[in-house]
Amino acid sequence: MFVIMIYDVGERRVAKMLKTGRKYLNWVQNSVLEGELSEGLLAKLKAEVKQKIDHESDSVIFYTWRSERYTARDVIGIEKNELALIV
């Protein structure tokens, strides 16, 4: 599946989040990574992210495309903006 990971974390955790994300995905721009992952690797990435973030102040959003017609959105931590679509 194709995955986009977007993160907004505290300054002290930015480098750790980038390093974690780059183990699985390709860096696109500040706080954005993307790439193809299996469901197992996505689950592993999410588990690592959950261990590294501050659940009270950080936000990591995963957009996944299982096919071109359907998307799913998972938010770990707080949701900063409740937009439902990528524009």
Annotated binding residues for Mg(2+): 8
DSSP classification of residue 24: T
Q: How many CB atoms lie within 10 A of CB 18?
A: 15
Known binding-site positions: 8
Specify whether the backbone of 19 is left (phi greater than 0), alpha (psi in -120 to 50) or beta: alpha
